[in-house]
């Protein structure tokens, strides 16, 4: 029971001199949380590709625009005094969209390997750094480890339930942005370079996540560590699922298109957010 509270009890923290209740800023990590996370990251993949590829804005311009959207949504979340499902999941979505194009800009370029139908360029500005998925993933892993090191040196706990300060939440969202970008690189590698294809990559990540669930029963494995591994891995699950929905049938996808897939996923995510908002209001009302 104590291990489970590490992941779900997010609304209580202790001060140095007194113990008091603190308005929680983050949701409880339940099955509904992970369903919404996968929905948001899948939408992040399809929406990022919609702007960068389908609308041909390119990775450079789309990354700048989506990063600015991330900053705006993050400011709204940080200024909120308590957990609001729409604020929180909008930031998750914006990190997923920005992470998609940031990863693509790092890993891809204007070569025929990444551009189809004889296209020579994709939007205005630099076409991409062309680092490749392994190099891009290595850089992002290094950045994520640096964030966790800074987090450790700050003296603040990694337990999600204790993130109640501005500095702690800033570190949390920095890790979220980088982990979603890293997850995109991992998902694209599984889909494009591993030989598994979109569906095979999604099934592999699902299998690893099932192992993490089993490890929650092992006392020696901290649930905080499992949370962050799962948080990173749900992004490549969303990336491979998004590619499976949108890519042409010749490449192993369902060819549903980025616009249609994004619209359906957006409706699903907003429905889940509305449900979470109703549940949050119910729990906030004191019972007599």
Largest Cα–Cα separation, the chain: 68
* Domain-embedded: residue 116: no
Residue 215 has pLDDT above 90, yes or no: yes
**Which is more confident, 224 or 208?**
208
Residue 274 located in a structural domain: yes
Please enumerate in sequence order all residues whose Cβ is within 8 A of that of 114, keeping only pairs 6 or more positions apart, or say none.
108, 128
Residue 4's pLDDT band, with cuts at 50, 70 and 90, is: very low
Number of folded domains that form the chain? 1
The boundaries of the domain holding residue 80 are 31-111+121-279
**φ, ψ dihedrals at 83, nearest 5°:** -65, 125
Per the CB < 8 A criterion, the answer to whether 188 and 49 are in contact is no
pLDDT of residue 196: 82
Q: What is the Rg, in whole angstroms, of the alpha carbon atoms belonging to the chain?
A: 19
- What is the model's pTM? 0.82
pLDDT of residue 241 exceeding 60: yes
Q: Does residue 192 lie within any of the structural domains?
A: yes
- Residue 14, pLDDT score: 36
Q: Is the pLDDT of residue 1 over 60?
A: no
Please say whether the beta carbons of 122 and 59 come within 8 A: yes
| Contact partners, residue 56, CB within 8 Å, separation at least 6 | 122, 123
Question: Is 8 contained in some domain?
Answer: no
Determine, yes or no, domain membership for 152.
Answer: yes
* Residue 112 confidence (pLDDT) above 70: no
285 part of a folded domain? no
Residue 175 dihedral angles phi and psi, to the nearest 5°: -65, -35
Closest CA to 231 of 85, 45, 41: 41
Asked whether the predicted pLDDT for residue 98 surpasses 80, the reply is yes
Read off the pLDDT of each residue in 14-25 and give the average, rounded to a whole number: 42
18 pLDDT exceeds 50?
no
Is the pLDDT at 6 greater than 60, yes or no? Answer: no
Query: Strands (DSSP E) along 145-258, which ranges?
Result: none
Q: How many CB atoms lie within 10 A of CB 34?
A: 16
pLDDT at position 73: 96
Tell me what pLDDT residue 21 has.
34
Cα separation, 38 vs 124, in Å, equals 31
> What is the model's pLDDT at position 8?
34
- For 153, the 3-state DSSP assignment is helix
pLDDT of the residue at 285: 57
174: closest CA among 205, 153, 202, 147?
Answer: 147
Q: Is residue 22 part of a domain?
A: no
232 sits in which H/E element: helix 223-246
| pLDDT value of position 5 | 38
What's the pLDDT band for 161 if we cut at 50, 70, 90? low
In a domain, 144, yes or no: yes
Residue 38 has pLDDT above 80, yes or no: yes
Identify the residue with better confidence: 29 or 143.
143
């Amino acid at each position: 029971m104590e291990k489970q509270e590490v992941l779900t009890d997010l609304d209580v923290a202790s001060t140095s001199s007194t113990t008091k209740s603190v308005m929680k800023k983050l949701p409880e990590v339940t099955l509904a949380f992970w369903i919404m996370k996968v929905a948001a990251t899948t939408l992040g993949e399809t929406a990022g590709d919609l702007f960068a590829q389908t609308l041909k804005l390119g990775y450079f311009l789309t990354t700048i625009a989506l990063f600015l959207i991330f900053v705006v949504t993050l400011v709204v979340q940080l200024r909120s005094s308590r957990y609001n499902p729409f604020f929180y999941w909008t930031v998750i979505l914006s990190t997923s969209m920005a992470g998609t194009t940031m990863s693509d800009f790092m890993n891809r370029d204007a070569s025929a390997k990444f551009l189809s139908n004889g296209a020579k360029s994709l939007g205005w500005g630099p076409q991409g750094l062309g680092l490749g998925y392994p190099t891009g993933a290595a850089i992002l892993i290094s950045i994520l480890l640096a964030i966790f090191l800074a987090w450790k040196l700050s003296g603040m706990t990694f337990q999600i339930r204790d993130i109640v300060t501005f500095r702690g939440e800033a570190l949390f969202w920095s890790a979220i942005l980088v982990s979603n970008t890293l997850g995109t690189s991992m998902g694209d590698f599984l889909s494009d370079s591993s030989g598994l294809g979109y569906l095979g990559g999604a099934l592999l990540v699902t299998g690893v996540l099932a192992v993490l669930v089993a490890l929650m029963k092992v006392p020696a494995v901290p649930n905080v560590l499992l949370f962050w591994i799962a948080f990173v891995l749900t992004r490549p699950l969303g990336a491979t699922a998004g590619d499976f929905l949108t890519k042409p049938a010749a490449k192993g996808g369902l060819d549903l298109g980025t616009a249609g897939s994004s619209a359906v996923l957006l409706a699903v995510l907003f429905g889940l957010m509305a449900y979470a908002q109703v549940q949050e209001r119910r729990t906030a009302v004191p019972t007599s």
